[in-house]
Amino acid sequence: MPAFPSPPVFSGFGLGLRREHYQDFLSGRVAVDFVEVISENFMVAGGQPRHILRQVRERHPVVLHGVSMSIGSADGLRPDYLRRLRALADEIEPLFVSDHLSWSRIDGFNSHDLLPLPYTEEALDLVCTNIDVAQDTLGRTMLFENPSSYLHFPGGMSEWEFMAEMCRRTGCGLLLDVNNVFVSAVNHGFDAFDFLDGIPAGAVRQIHLAGHSQGKDLLVDTHDTPVSDAVWMLYAEAVARCGPVATMVERDAAIPPLAELLAELDIARRLARTREAA
Amino acid sequence: MNLADLQRDFRLWLVQGSEPAAGRIPGAHAAGLAVYQNNYRAQLVGCLEASYPLLRARMGEDAFLQLAVRHINSHPPHAWTLDAYADHLETTLEILYPDNPDLHELAWIELALGTAFVAADAEPLAAIALATVDWDTARLALAPGLLTRAALTNAAEVWRAMSAGTDAPEAAMLEEAGGLLVWRSGFTSCLRATDALEVELLEALRRHGSFAALCELLAGRLGEEDGIARAGALLANWIGAGLVTGVEDGA
């Protein structure tokens, strides 16, 4: 049973805070409605990173987006990680706290990658138990993001059925990564529209947009290129289903000047306006 | 296959490239496994490259990559933060390059500067706060980010030249053993080469905090007058550098 209020609906447009753009954001003149940071980069004892985050927080709402919770670990979550994240969240008072529907760690080994889960009843029970622990420790409802994947385990339910049941049982929200839907759909041969139709649209609080690359055999979620036309089309469909939710463009490598990312964000704004008006 | 077994087989694939383990993962295919294997190794290599840019430049691209691969094969990551993966590279460096203390020390400098950069915040002590201190019982607190080590080579000089983009000197042994200090002043990580005695004193001070004990140690080494004078000079220097962050009456 959900123990905390649902995350707020926030309909702005944002960017990830990356080192290359620190000065732009500290100047306070970046036309975004929110800023997303990688939580782990700021879960440090002190120094300049925390100082910069405090300054950015004075100017913008901040989303804490994690990559290391490992919500699908069969041996549970790390209490020390959760305590540090709680301390950061209490200080920053983020718009959302999010992580990925994946696993990274087992028996003390940490892969530092977002590894795929089988969408089985066993995994669902475990993920929901771990989400309950995380939300109880953090004292707030989280969002979980669909990852890109390069392996699909046979049997079980679909990714969207799994996410729908996960939301129903735990009350968590969704961070819908439209690029990840596209990448996984191409890699595994499912219809991306089935995914959009299958997730609970009312649980989506944030949308990620990013670029991908063609690998040797598979599409790879590289975050180093502009958003593709196919992903923009899928975004328009997502907005039509989910309504106006927080949307951001992610770029983690080959980071261009801020103006280029703001131009991509303008495309998202225009598409969202068009679909909302339709 | 249950989830824990699947995750353990995935770990064996990533860490050891175990084909039998990969074969047990339901639905696994070579293309997908290769993406995950590549992501895993690329992340770790990227972390080491970002943490040791000058060591990499000093060693050369191929030698550094060989070091990184050897380290990744022998030290799977455990911490929740990727940044921590850089912490133990010196162990592998010592195995591959046992006769290059210059490289060990350069690696230590880069790691220490990165560690100090995100160390806990602590306001440096103002000299005026010492006006009423009873030195017989005073306990000094040092900056949380202070790191020390013994030095045998001119690695600090090499680091300084490479950081400035100027020609770095050849590696050389010091005439007598020295030491290295790294700490954070404001938001800037600082490096200073020093003598072995200052390292010993700071390490002792961090253990017990007693300035009186430090004076006693110096008096024993240098004689009463010179020892007390050196203690006063060192304290003034430490306060000026932001290394002292608190003083308490330990009585």
Tell me: do B201 and B239 sit in the same domain.
yes
Single-letter code of the amino acid located at B182: V
Structural tokens at position A103: 């696993």
The predicted model gives A222-235 an average pLDDT of 95
Q: Chain A 233-262, CB below 8 Å of chain B: which residues? A: none
pLDDT digits (tens, 9 = 90+) for B43-92: 999 999 999 999 999 999 999 999 999 999 999 999 999 999 999 999 99
Assess contact for B184 and B241: CB atoms under 8 A. Answer: no
Q: What is the mean pLDDT of chain A?
A: 95
Domain count, chain B: 2
Tell me: do B106 and B228 sit in the same domain.
yes
Residue B172 binned pLDDT confidence (cut-offs 50, 70, 90): very high
Collect all residues of chain A within an 8 Å Cβ-Cβ radius of residue B2: 74, 122
Q: Chain A 145-164, CB below 8 Å of chain B: which residues? A: 149-155
φ/ψ of A139, rounded to 5, equals: 70, 30
Decide which of B94, B123, B155 is a domain's last residue.
B94
Tell me: do B5 and B48 sit in the same domain.
yes
User: pLDDT at position B248, please?
Assistant: 87
Tell me: do B160 and B251 sit in the same domain.
yes
Per residue, what are the HEC states of B8-56?
HHHHHHHHHCCHHHHHHCCCCCHHHHHHHHHHHHHHHHHHHHHHCHHHH
Decide which of B94, B112, B137 is a domain's last residue.
B94
Cβ distance of A45 and B144 shorter than 8 Å = yes
Q: Within an 8 Å CB–CB cutoff, is residue A186 touching chain B? A: no
Tell me: do B32 and B115 sit in the same domain.
no
pLDDT greater than 80 at residue A40: yes
pLDDT digits (tens, 9 = 90+) for A234-269: 999 999 999 989 999 999 889 999 999 999 999 999
Tell me: do B208 and B233 sit in the same domain.
yes
- Range of weakest confidence among A85-89, A142-146, B208-212: B208-212
Cβ distance of B80 and A154 shorter than 8 Å = no
User: pLDDT at position A28, please?
Assistant: 77
Residue of A nearest to B8 (CA): A106
Residue ranges of domains in chain A: 13-277
pTM above 0.90, yes or no: yes
What is the distance of C-alpha B109 from the center of its chain?
6
Block residue for tokens 């300049």:
A48
Residue of B nearest to A114 (CA): B36
Which parts of A98-228 fold into alpha helices (H)?
121-138, 159-170, 178-188, 192-198
CB nearest to B28's CB, from A108, A151, A155: A151
Tell me: do B114 and B235 sit in the same domain.
yes
Block residue for tokens 């590289």:
A222
Tell me: do B78 and B156 sit in the same domain.
no
pLDDT digits (tens, 9 = 90+) for B133-171: 888 899 999 999 999 999 999 999 999 999 999 999 999
pLDDT greater than 60 at residue A1: no
User: pLDDT at position A3, please?
Assistant: 76
pLDDT greater than 90 at residue B130: no
The predicted model gives A51-67 an average pLDDT of 96
Block residue for tokens 């839907």:
A181
CB nearest to A74's CB, from B3, B35, B43: B3
Q: Within an 8 Å CB–CB cutoff, is residue A129 touching chain B? A: no
Tell me: do B227 and B112 sit in the same domain.
yes
Decide which of B94, B125, B158 is a domain's last residue.
B94
Tell me: do B59 and B123 sit in the same domain.
no
Cβ distance of A151 and B33 shorter than 8 Å = yes
The predicted model gives A79-98 an average pLDDT of 97
Taking the C-alpha atoms of residue A113 and residue B44, their distance in angstroms, rounded to an integer, is: 10
Q: What is the mean pLDDT of chain B?
A: 95
Residue of B nearest to A125 (CA): B3
What distances in angstroms separate CA B228 from CA A136, A165, A223, B207, B247, one per listed residue?
56, 72, 60, 20, 19
Tell me: do B90 and B103 sit in the same domain.
no
The predicted model gives A6-27 an average pLDDT of 93
Collect all residues of chain B within an 8 Å Cβ-Cβ radius of residue A103: 7
User: pLDDT at position B194, please?
Assistant: 97
Longest distance between any two alpha carbons in chain A, whole Å: 52
φ/ψ of B175, rounded to 5, equals: -65, -35
- For the domain covering A13-277, report its CATH number: 3.20.20.150
The predicted model gives B13-36 an average pLDDT of 96
Assess contact for A222 and A191: CB atoms under 8 A. Answer: no
User: pLDDT at position A18, please?
Assistant: 93
Instruction: State which H helix or E strand residue A55 sits in.
Output: helix A48-59
Mutation choice for B interface testing from A110, A119, A188 by most B CBs within 10 A: A110
Taking the C-alpha atoms of residue B162 and residue B98, their distance in angstroms, rounded to an integer, is: 23
Taking the C-alpha atoms of residue A10 and residue A13, their distance in angstroms, rounded to an integer, is: 9
Taking the C-alpha atoms of residue B239 and residue B242, their distance in angstroms, rounded to an integer, is: 5
Cβ distance of A155 and B26 shorter than 8 Å = yes
Cβ distance of B119 and A45 shorter than 8 Å = yes
Domain carrying residue B13: 1-94
Cβ distance of A74 and B31 shorter than 8 Å = no
Assess contact for A214 and A221: CB atoms under 8 A. Answer: no
